[in-house]
Amino acid sequence: MSTRPLGIAAIGYAFMGRAHSQAWRNVAAFFEVPAIEQRVLVGRDAEQASLAAARYGWAESATDWHEVIGRDDVDIVDICAPGWLHAEIAIAALEAGKHVLVEKPLSNTLAESEAMVAAAAAAQSRGVQSMVGFNYRRVPALAYARKLIADGRLGTVREVRTSYLQDWLADSEAPMTWRLRKETAGSGALGDIASHAIDQVQYLLGDTVTEASGRLHTFVPRRPGPNGAENVTVDDAAWATLALASGAIASVEASRVAVGRKNSLRIEVYGADGALAFDLERLNELEFLDVYGPKAEQGFRRIVVTEPHHPYIDAWWPQGHVIGWEHTFVHQIRDFLVAIRDGKSPSPSFEDGLQVQRVLAAIEESAAAKSITIQI
């Protein structure tokens, strides 16, 4: 590893596999990172995996991830497969001495996540690193918001409001996918997108959720499948109220049937001395209010987060030239590679991913019990 580029294997070539591939392909063009080679892309369909590998810049393709993680020329395994496969692949890769990046959520169950954390701890004692992919931590505006909060610019944070709304399932005739089956997806909007909102609450505040109450709902209980209508076994939407260790209270709403909302992660943070607001559909902007400004001029002001001193921005374009959603994955890969190079623990860790899973499980338990509060 010290004399050759780090060999990368990615498992999964669909939506997330494509996003991660783009990041591996471009990271060295903008950041000082260890040399890497995109060695192999793994997928179940040999023909489709081969086509994707050629298109995304991988040297070759394969269908057997077991064989790939045993290869001497593979140093990093990037898991973009569905959640029900995360634990098996990640644990095997870590035990094989490979650094592991796994997409969120960490897994589909608490038991699997706990096993992954144990494997990651054992691997780290041997110098093998692991990270879970909550890519929105790498949005420059949100990284800057975290700094403003940590610097005390909002004072004591009292309330956080988050919503993550999409509409790709608003059409009741939208077909069944693995994301709508509990055995493969684990949960619906809750694990898929509310997990991002929950991670942001804890990340921005540097805090931990200690209690949760929630409700889940499936608005379209049956959808067209390849062999006729099938039951949807996960939620279409989720709502939760969270209490944090600091005393702050957060609300979370997530939906994949919110007509007109394509990918709207909205975050509002209210403190004693100021407030912040962010929307992923305007990801280069951050709204900030300082209560100590002149009363006659009081109100939210727009910060365009494209200055060289903003997080990650100095690697990209001249000030005022915006970046996009895909850049968050490049930033994520950059941070992972730098952590491996420096022998430091990447963030978010598998333990961070497990904490999000604990919150998700508490929301599910609360919803099943008709909105009782669950201690975490």
pLDDT tens by residue, 115-165: 999 999 999 999 999 999 999 999 999 999 999 999 999 999 999 999 999
Q: Which of 347, 353, 343, 332 is nearest to 135 (CA)?
A: 332
**Mean of pLDDT values over 246-261:** 98
- Please identify, among 135, 159, 189, the residue that sits at the C-terminal boundary of a domain: 135
Domain membership flag for residue 375 = no
Q: Is the pLDDT of residue 92 over 80?
A: yes
The total domain count for the chain is 2
pLDDT tens by residue, 15-33: 999 999 999 999 999 999 9
At residue 3, the pLDDT reads 76
HSE value, Cβ hemisphere, 13 Å, CA-based, for 90? 34
**pLDDT-derived band of residue 2, with 50, 70 and 90 as boundaries?**
low
- The enclosing domain of 247 has a CATH number of 3.30.360.10
With 0-12 / 13-18 / 19 or more C-beta atoms within 10 angstroms meaning exposed / middle / buried, residue 367 is buried
- Assess contact for 136 and 312: CB atoms under 8 A: no
pLDDT tens by residue, 301-311: 999 999 999 99
Domain membership flag for residue 79 = yes
Q: Is the pLDDT of residue 337 over 60?
A: yes
Instruction: Tell me the pLDDT of the chain averaged across its residues.
Output: 96
Domain membership flag for residue 376 = no
**pLDDT-derived band of residue 98, with 50, 70 and 90 as boundaries?**
very high
130 bridge partner residues: 100
- Domain hosting 109: range is 6-135
Q: Which of 258, 269, 279 is nearest to 189 (CA)?
A: 258
Q: Which of 70, 74, 76, 116 is nearest to 340 (CA)?
A: 76
Q: Which of 100, 80, 62 is nearest to 12 (CA)?
A: 80
At residue 370, the pLDDT reads 81
- Assess contact for 151 and 241: CB atoms under 8 A: no
pLDDT tens by residue, 73-82: 999 999 999 9
Spatial separation of the C-alpha atoms in residues 108 and 91, rounded to whole Å: 14
Same domain, 50 and 109: yes
Inter-CA distances, 150 with 41, 132, 157, 210, Å:
39, 23, 10, 20
Q: Is the pLDDT of residue 371 over 90?
A: no
- Assess contact for 76 and 130: CB atoms under 8 A: no
Strands 237-244 and 249-255: antiparallel
At residue 146, the pLDDT reads 98
At residue 376, the pLDDT reads 82
Element (H, E) at 316: none
At residue 272, the pLDDT reads 98
Q: Is the pLDDT of residue 1 over 60?
A: no
- Please identify, among 135, 170, 196, the residue that sits at the C-terminal boundary of a domain: 135
Same domain, 179 and 317: yes
Domain membership flag for residue 102 = yes
Domain membership flag for residue 374 = no
Same domain, 131 and 144: no
Q: Is the pLDDT of residue 224 over 60?
A: yes
Same domain, 142 and 228: yes
Same domain, 131 and 269: no
- The enclosing domain of 104 has a CATH number of 3.40.50.720
Same domain, 116 and 199: no
Q: Is the pLDDT of residue 51 over 80?
A: yes
- Assess contact for 90 and 100: CB atoms under 8 A: yes
Domain membership flag for residue 108 = yes
Same domain, 150 and 227: yes
At residue 231, the pLDDT reads 97
Same domain, 104 and 152: no
Spatial separation of the C-alpha atoms in residues 190 and 233, rounded to whole Å: 13
Where b means 16+ CB within 10 Å and e means fewer, 196-220 reads: bbbbbbbbbbebebebbbbebebeb
Same domain, 193 and 334: yes
CA-based radius of gyration for the chain? 21
Q: Is the pLDDT of residue 4 over 80?
A: yes
Same domain, 165 and 109: no
Q: What is the dihedral angle through the alpha carbons of 365, 370, 371, 374, rounded to the nearest 10 degrees?
A: -30
Domain membership flag for residue 178 = yes
Lowest model confidence (mean pLDDT) among 122-136, 341-355, 357-371: 357-371
- Please identify, among 135, 164, 185, the residue that sits at the C-terminal boundary of a domain: 135
The amino acid present at 375, given as its one-letter code, is Q
Same domain, 160 and 91: no
Q: How many residues does the chain have?
A: 376
Domain membership flag for residue 264 = yes
Same domain, 125 and 161: no
User: Where are the extended beta strands (E) located within 192-348?
Assistant: 209-217, 222-225, 228-231, 237-244, 249-255, 264-271, 274-279, 285-290, 301-304
Strands 157-165 and 274-279: unpaired
Q: Which of 3, 354, 9, 36 is nearest to 199 (CA)?
A: 354
